[in-house]
């Protein structure tokens, strides 16, 4: 059986949400967020499973996977019947584009903003770094807003996919800026209203 090591309010929420969308059986190893921040979960046993000691970590028998984007891609492709991944053609190419956009373009400035607004001690926060990250984040958000401005329901049109999960989850790290993007805001609301997302977010 699949086993997910998960901490609420972390990147592992993406994987938990996707597992709920798939409707597959899985086991959950819950790591309190305070323990994650303090590094208390980084025991020798856990580091033997995940060399960086982070979450998410997914186990499937002898297989161990980390990196939320890789896990979501692998799970989506393993369960094509769920419809979270296009099988081929241009639609699959766009799906891959948005998956990589989420982790490579949208996430870095969102994470930098979060650290320099809330997570770092005040004396370690840098105003110039925060400003630069905000500009880069707004540029990425504008790309999503343009994609969604034609009224489409999801990034790929009528098909909800793993790309929606990764992008929406990342946007929530800087939700205070969503007022500038009404189409993206409505998209986030639709995604978070899905029963699978509601179930995943309730797990604490």
**pLDDT per position as a tens digit, 45-102:** 999 999 999 999 999 999 999 999 999 999 999 999 999 999 889 999 999 999 999 9
pTM: 0.95
Burial of 166 (0-12, 13-18, 19+ CB in 10 A): buried
**Same domain for 183 and 142?**
yes
Domain boundaries, position 142: 89-194
Domain boundary among 82, 112, 145: 82
Q: How far apart are CA 30 and CA 10, in angstroms?
A: 12
What pLDDT is attached to residue 39? 86
Residue 201 lies in a domain: no
Closest to 9 measured CA to CA, from 33, 29, 36, 38: 33
pLDDT value, residue 148: 98
Give pLDDT tens digits for 129-153. Answer: 999 999 999 999 999 999 999 999 9
Whole-angstrom distance, CA of residue 6 vs CA of residue 60:
15
Residue 116 pLDDT greater than 90, yes or no: yes
Contact status, residue 5 vs residue 32, Cβ threshold 8 Å = no
Tokens of 186: 């409505």
Same domain for 69 and 138? no
Q: Where among 82, 100, 135 does a domain terminate? A: 82
- Say if 187 falls within a structural domain: yes
Asked if residue 135 and residue 75 are part of one domain, the reply reads no
Q: Is 200 domain-assigned?
A: no
Residue 194's pLDDT is: 98
Q: What is the percent of the chain with per-residue pLDDT over 90, rounded to a whole number?
A: 92
14 in Cβ contact with 20 (< 8 Å): no
Range with lowest mean pLDDT among 30-44, 60-74, 82-96, 169-183: 30-44
Mean pLDDT of 104-124: 96
* H runs (alpha helix) in 23-126: 33-38, 44-49, 68-78, 89-101, 107-114
Do residue 107 and residue 31 come from a single domain? no
Q: State which of 82, 112, 141 marks the end of a domain.
A: 82
Dist. CA 160–CA 196, nearest whole Å: 12
What secondary structure letter does DSSP report for 156? T
| 96 within domain boundaries | yes
> Contact 65/74 with Cβ under 8 angstroms?
yes
Average pLDDT of the chain to the nearest whole number: 96
* Residue 184 to residue 190: CA distance in whole angstroms: 10
Are residue 96 and residue 185 in the same domain, yes or no? Answer: yes
Residue-level pLDDT at 36: 87
pLDDT at 34 over 90: no
For residues 24 and 66, state if they share a domain.
Answer: yes
């Amino acid at each position: 059986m699949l086993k997910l090591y998960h901490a609420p309010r972390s990147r592992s929420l993406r994987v938990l949400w996707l597992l709920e969308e798939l409707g597959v059986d899985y086991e959950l190893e819950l790591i309190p967020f305070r323990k994650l921040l303090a590094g208390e979960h980084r025991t020798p046993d856990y580091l033997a499973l995940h060399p960086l000691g982070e979450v998410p970590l997914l186990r499937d028998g002898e297989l161990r996977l980390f990196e939320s984007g890789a896990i979501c891609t692998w799970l989506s492709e393993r369960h094509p019947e769920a419809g979270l991944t296009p099988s081929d053609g241009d639609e699959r190419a766009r799906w891959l584009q948005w998956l990589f956009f989420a982790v490579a373009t949208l996430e870095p400035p969102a994470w930098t903003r979060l650290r320099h607004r809330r997570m770092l001690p005040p004396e370690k926060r840098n105003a110039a770094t925060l400003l630069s990250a905000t500009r880069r984040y707004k540029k990425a958000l504008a790309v999503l807003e343009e994609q969604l401005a034609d009224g489409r329901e999801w990034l790929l049109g009528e098909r909800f996919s793993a790309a929606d999960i990764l992008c929406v989850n990342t946007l929530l790290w800087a939700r205070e800026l969503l007022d500038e993007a009404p189409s993206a805001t409505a998209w986030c609301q639709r995604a978070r209203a899905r029963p699978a997302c509601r179930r995943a977010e309730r797990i604490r």
